[in-house]
Amino acid sequence: MIAALVLGWLALAPAGAGFTVAVDPGHGGKNCGGEGLRKGLYEKHVTLEIARRVRRNLLAERGLRVVLCREADVLVPINARVRCGNEAGARLFVSIHTNASPFGPSRGMQRGFEIYVLPVQGVDHDAGLAAIAPASPVDGAWAAHQVRATAVESLAAAQRIEWQMADALGSDRDRGIKQAGAKLDVLQGLKMPAVLVEVGFLDHPQDGNFLATEAGWDKIAGALSRAISDLRARELRGRTDPTITARTAPAR
């Protein structure tokens, strides 16, 4: 009886277990990323400043935990960032980067933010692998379903972030949600919805100056924090109304 009660409680436990988001400040240490307009300012500094602010903003939100995949100016390999998200049991992974135009005539001409998720094609490939690996076909179908459901949730997460970023920075800065073009290695192997946000162009005169100021970091962190809050609220609602979330069980 007690065992049944305990098991029943455990089955429900994840619903009350809170929401962890892994925030990944891109680059770090000798991997500086793009160079800013201000001397000595690199992408790795901007991403950490924004990530720290996101954590600070969300500190007071009960049941929400923010884990940073890099706390200081140190080199963190891609696989360690993936482990950071998976081992934290994160429900959402947000990698922060800044953009730059390629060297050449367009240098300094592009501006705005864009959000990346893994391409659906790659997800189908992963889903295929997930379906082949397990011992039983039912497990395989479930694993493949999970991979696809996570991809759908990644897109939903990207959309929330896009709305909040456009609200904060202006819809004319919105370059959209993309599935190719950035280095998306950090999103491979994650078990939760995951996005990579290019918050602005470090080499653009206005974007670059904005990204060198505390006001800029605050504004971007505010938008990301609101999006994370929204996504957590959405997940909480999804637990009582399964039509809201893509995390539904396959037919057996």
Give the binding range for Zn ion (CB under 5 A) out of 18-26, 100-108, 130-138, 239-247.
18-26
Q: Return the number of the residue (34 or 140) whose C-beta is nearest Zn ion.
A: 34
Q: Return the number of the residue (153 or 198) whose C-beta is nearest Zn ion.
A: 198
- By CB under 5 A, what part of segment 130-189 binds Zn ion? none
Distance CA 240, CA 106 (A): 49
Distance CA 126, CA 241 (A): 28
**Contact call for residue 97 and Zn ion (CB under 5 A):** yes
Shortest distance (Å) from residue 73 CB to Zn ion: 15
Do residues 84 and 24 touch, judged by C-beta distance below 8 A?
A: yes
- By CB under 5 A, what part of segment 189-218 binds Zn ion? none
Q: Return the number of the residue (33 or 85) whose C-beta is nearest Zn ion.
A: 33
Q: Return the number of the residue (144 or 190) whose C-beta is nearest Zn ion.
A: 190
Size of the site for Zn ion (CB under 5 A): 3
Shortest distance (Å) from residue 146 CB to Zn ion: 28
Shortest distance (Å) from residue 33 CB to Zn ion: 4
Give the binding range for Zn ion (CB under 5 A) out of 21-29, 64-72, 146-154, 184-192.
21-29
Residue 115, beta-bridge partner list: 177, 197
Q: Return the number of the residue (33 or 222) whose C-beta is nearest Zn ion.
A: 33
Exposure b/e, 6-35, CB count within 10 A at least 16 = b: eeeeeeeeeeeeebbbbbbbbbbeeeebbe
CA distance readout (Å), 127 to 122, 137, 141? 9, 13, 9
Q: Return the number of the residue (97 or 232) whose C-beta is nearest Zn ion.
A: 97
Do residues 50 and 159 touch, judged by C-beta distance below 8 A?
A: no
**Contact call for residue 25 and Zn ion (CB under 5 A):** no
Distance CA 71, CA 73 (A): 7
Q: In this chain, which of 25, 26, 85, 222 binds Zn ion, going by CB under 5 A?
A: 26
Q: Return the number of the residue (20 or 98) whose C-beta is nearest Zn ion.
A: 98
**Contact call for residue 36 and Zn ion (CB under 5 A):** no
Q: In this chain, which of 33, 85, 140, 193 binds Zn ion, going by CB under 5 A?
A: 33
Residue 35, beta-bridge partner list: 42
The residues that touch Zn ion, with contacts defined as CB under 5 A, are: 26, 33, 97
